[in-house]
Structure 1
Amino acid sequence: MAKTLKDLSREELMNTIRELKFAALDLNLYLDTHPECKPALNDYNNITSDLKAVISVYESKYAPLTNFGGAESKYPWAWTNEPWPWESGE
């Protein structure tokens, strides 16, 4: 049975976020030079939507990935809780 986003571990969610951010950045750069490539734009929009969903699950399970209004926090304030997203031990 395939895992849903909510079933993924913290590390799996962070890896998925990294992969989707890389793909979005790569497509963004491509679209800068090929702005009328509709398939690439569709891919970019789909990846962006997927990225938002994964970030939402991560933040609801663990802690915000950004501060200054980018995400809400559970009580108590969770921004300073360890480990930080980049401290995955890899």
Structure 2
Amino acid sequence: MKQMPKEYYDLLHQLQAIDFVLIDLTLYLDTHPHDYEAIQQFNELAQERKKLKKQYETQFGPLQQYGNSYSHYPWDWSKTPWPWQV
């Protein structure tokens, strides 16, 4: 498998960590919908994730398909490794 620069793995790790917390907060908020502080934390992390996703995709290409991520020119879905392969 192709070795990627350290920043690739660092950004991917940060995204995975934020995704984990967002999933956990989602489950918590499903049962505690009036917890204002948890909602604030969720929204802050969602903004941080959006920023990290943009940074990652600018440098390394799209993370998701079906319109959830833009493609560079030329079409770059054929580049590997894909995030789920590392």
* TM-score between the two structures when normalised by the length of structure 2: 0.90
- In 2, Cα distance between equivalents of 1:50 and 1:32: 21
How many residue pairs end up in the alignment? 81
How do 1:22-41 and structure 2 match up within 5 A? 22-41=20-39
User: What secondary structure, in the 3-state scheme, does the structure 1 residue paired with 2:85 have?
Assistant: coil
**Aligned pairs (5 A) from 1:1-90:** 9-88=7-86
Unaligned stretches of 5+ in structure 2? 1-5
Larger fraction in helix: 2
Paired-residue identity, %: 35
The two structures have a TM-score, normalised by structure 1, of 0.86
User: Segments of 4+ in structure 1 off by > 2 A?
Assistant: none
For residue 10 of structure 1, report the CA deviation from its aligned partner.
Answer: 0.3
Taking only aligned residues, the RMSD between alpha carbons, in angstroms, comes to 1.0
Higher relative contact order (CA 8 A, sep 6+): 2
